[in-house]
Structure 1
Amino acid sequence: MNPQSLKWPESRILKLFEIENPIVQAGMVWVSGGKLAAAAANSGCLGLLGAGSMYPEILKEQIKKAKNLTQKSIGVNIPLLYEKTEEQIHVALNEGIRIFFTSAGSPKKWTPLLKKEGCIVVHVVSTPEFALKCQDAGVDAVVVEGFEAGGHNGRDEITTLVLLQQMQNLLSIPVIAAGGIGSGQAILAALALGAEGVQIGTAFASTIESSAHINFKHAMCQARFNSTFLRMKKLVPVRLLENEFAKTVALAEERCANKEELEELLGKGRAKEGMLHGNLQEGELEVGQIVSEIKDILTCAKLVEKFKIEFLEAKKRLH
């Protein structure tokens, strides 16, 4: 089956980002650097830099790196609760970024400024209530993310499938589905449920261009169906690949450790230690439930081609 023959359904997402495929490569901490964002963009998707793990000067470097590797537009994902948020936003604006995905906070504060600068603003939400608030705040689209997703999740633990059904006829702006999407079949399902695009994290984290440590990539390829768990619910829920650190967290939660104890256990730099430095036992390894379906370390181009073939095969089975 020729992936070049695929004609995606018309969607506002394709026009909004001027992309060929209705796919957003998620801006993940420690793995979404300039190389990955550029590779995703060159594959016809929207590539995002994960600013959550970058000091402003590092963000500037990675934007420049991406721009040296692609002529296509890229964006940044900026969590809004970090102390460096304002500086990150101004660095990105100064470097010519005009696509902003925001998360972990209210979009009300920064959306007016970004829109005034001519930017496209998308906010990540985990409930229909927050999606409506984002629309009222003036964003151009929302990412609705189910708790199958890797990394930090909403406290309500709503799945992607349910979220998409709850979003039916709720918004006038486009919806991008995220959480548990790692195949062309899942993309077809998301579009059938009203999404106009998808955001994919874990599958892109495992690619050759990802800045994830090779140990982490191999661990993703070896994961089983039950290898991830939602931890740290007393702090901010986070989905982790099971390892010694995750087991220690689980034991602490079982004995009802308080918030302060969990914060001390988490310490600083756990995610960097695991995802960037490859410490598979004591590091924090953020991945989604779909990690068990990753079998190979592919280039972004090969991954997107795989998605297209799977989409066509799934579509054919329906007719």
Structure 2
Amino acid sequence: MKNKLVDLFNIQYPIVQGGMIWNSGYKLASAVSNAGGLGLIGAGSMYPDVLREHIQKCKKATDKPFGVNVPMLYPNIEEIMNIIVEEGVKIVFTSAGNPKTWTSFLKGHGITVVHVVSSSKFALKAQEAGVDAIVAEGFEAGGHNGREETTTLTLIPMVREKISIPLIAAGGIATGRAMLAAMVLGADGVQMGTRFIASHESSAHDSFKQLLLQVQEGDTTLTLKELAPVRLIKNEFYTNLQALYAKGANTEELKAYLGRGRAKKGMFEGDLIEGELEVGQISGLINSVESVDTIVKSIIKEFEIAKSELAYL
């Protein structure tokens, strides 16, 4: 399969694995890269020394291209960027910040830079900042999300209209048919997060993976817009959060209840009651935990079948 995205990353398939906190260690990233996609290490949940360790292990586990996802709102950002350069990482996805801050630094060291956005306005700003590609993430996506609540179906063509660089669609994509639909809308490839949580290689807790398989339509929601919008599974933590909203809690009260380490507690340690369980709406379509290789092969097979069916329309 050849297109601009495949050429940019030197990969076999235009499939990018989301760099999700507490889910995306070197085992997942290397497995996706070995399967023909682009694996990403999720730096957002790693101390600098842990990130270095995962990069080094990923280089040993695959000879294929892989990258690092860096949410720029986290501390130690300068140290993290220096480690990425020192370790010879060739691809970086940035998010949750101004792309102007680090793009020139990274590109100055020969690194391909991709920025994640939730609107056509910020896609254009990222292109102007000099990034090599854009991830446009719709409202359906799990984890931290945009405030605009624009769905992937409407976001992708609007972003495509604004930019000329490669475009990666994200949010609500877990199948070959969804991949084809995104590309018909103007994307050059897709980024999948939730689908890869339900893999053997994901670093998510097994209890979290099993819960993900039980999620049905309507079981996730976007909340905490006052702090940083996040889509998660409705559990006891969410129920208590809604009680605070009902009482008219202010930002400081919400922040105090959220506390620290809530996502780690849920996704990595398996506390399904008090943890923050971040998944996308597409989880209602995921019914099994499989190997990354099986997942990628299934996606590509379905993509090719769907594409052949379109020829008859």
How far off is 1:100 after superposition?
0.5
Q: Which residue number in structure 1 is paired with residue 19 of structure 2?
A: 27
Aligned mates of 1:149, 1:300 — CA distance in 2: 20
How far off is 1:313 after superposition?
2.2
Deviations 1:180-211 (A, max 9, x none): 00100000000001100100000011100000
Does the CA contact (< 8 Å) of 1:111 and 1:138 recur in 2?
Answer: yes
SS in 1 for 2:162: coil
Aligned mates of 1:68, 1:269 — CA distance in 2: 30
SS in 2 for 1:199: strand
Question: Alignment partner for residue 237 of structure 2, among 218, 222, 245?
Answer: 245
Q: Which residue number in structure 1 is paired with residue 5 of structure 2?
A: 13
Deviations 1:86-111 (A, max 9, x none): 11111111111010000000010111
Deviations 1:144-169 (A, max 9, x none): 00010000011111111110121233
SS in 1 for 2:100: coil
Q: Which residue number in structure 2 is paired with residue 61 of structure 1?
A: 53
Task: For 1:194, give the aligned amino acid.
Answer: G
Aligned mates of 2:85, 2:190 — CA distance in 1: 25
Aligned mates of 2:128, 2:71 — CA distance in 1: 19
Q: Which residue number in structure 2 is paired with residue 71 of structure 1?
A: 63
Task: For 2:248, give the aligned amino acid.
Answer: C
Does the CA contact (< 8 Å) of 1:152 and 1:237 recur in 2?
Answer: yes
- Structure 2 length normalisation: TM-score? 0.98
Task: For 1:145, give the aligned amino acid.
Answer: E
How far off is 1:135 after superposition?
0.5
Deviates more, 1:196-205 or 1:248-257: 248-257
Does the CA contact (< 8 Å) of 1:231 and 1:250 recur in 2?
Answer: no
Aligned mates of 1:207, 1:36 — CA distance in 2: 8
Question: Alignment partner for residue 148 of structure 2, among 148, 156, 171?
Answer: 156
SS in 2 for 1:256: coil
SS in 1 for 2:168: strand
Task: For 2:155, give the aligned amino acid.
Answer: L
- Structure 1 length normalisation: TM-score? 0.96
- Is 1:236 matched with 2:211? no
Aligned mates of 1:285, 1:28 — CA distance in 2: 12
Q: Which residue number in structure 1 is paired with residue 162 of structure 2?
A: 170
The aligned runs of 1:73-88 (5 Å cut-off) are 73-88=65-80
Deviations 1:52-92 (A, max 9, x none): 01000000011111112111121000011222111111111
Question: Alignment partner for residue 44 of structure 2, among 25, 48, 52?
Answer: 52
Deviates more, 1:247-256 or 1:269-278: 247-256
What root-mean-square deviation, in Å, do the aligned CA atoms of Structure 1 and Structure 2 show?
0.9
Aligned mates of 1:228, 1:199 — CA distance in 2: 19
- Structure 1 residue ranges (4+ consecutive) displaced by more than 3 angstroms after TM superposition: none
Q: Which residue number in structure 2 is paired with residue 117 of structure 1?
A: 109
Q: Which residue number in structure 1 is paired with residue 218 of structure 2?
A: 226
Does the CA contact (< 8 Å) of 1:34 and 1:49 recur in 2?
Answer: yes
Q: Which residue number in structure 1 is paired with residue 205 of structure 2?
A: 213
Deviations 1:205-245 (A, max 9, x none): 11000000000000011111111011111111100011110
Q: Which residue number in structure 1 is paired with residue 176 of structure 2?
A: 184
Question: Alignment partner for residue 190 of structure 2, among 189, 193, 198?
Answer: 198
SS in 2 for 1:14: helix
Task: For 1:98, give the aligned amino acid.
Answer: K
Q: Which residue number in structure 2 is paired with residue 5 of structure 1?
A: none
Q: Which residue number in structure 2 is paired with residue 103 of structure 1?
A: 95
Deviations 1:273-298 (A, max 9, x none): 00000011110000000011110100
Q: How many residues align?
A: 311
Task: For 1:187, give the aligned amino acid.
Answer: M
- Is 1:275 matched with 2:254? no
Deviates more, 1:295-304 or 1:77-86: 77-86
Does the CA contact (< 8 Å) of 2:160 and 2:187 recur in 1?
Answer: no
How far off is 1:20 after superposition?
0.3
Structure 2: 5+ residue stretches without partners: none
Percent same amino acid at aligned positions? Answer: 53
SS in 1 for 2:161: coil
Aligned mates of 2:3, 2:240 — CA distance in 1: 45
Structure 1: 5+ residue stretches without partners: 1-7
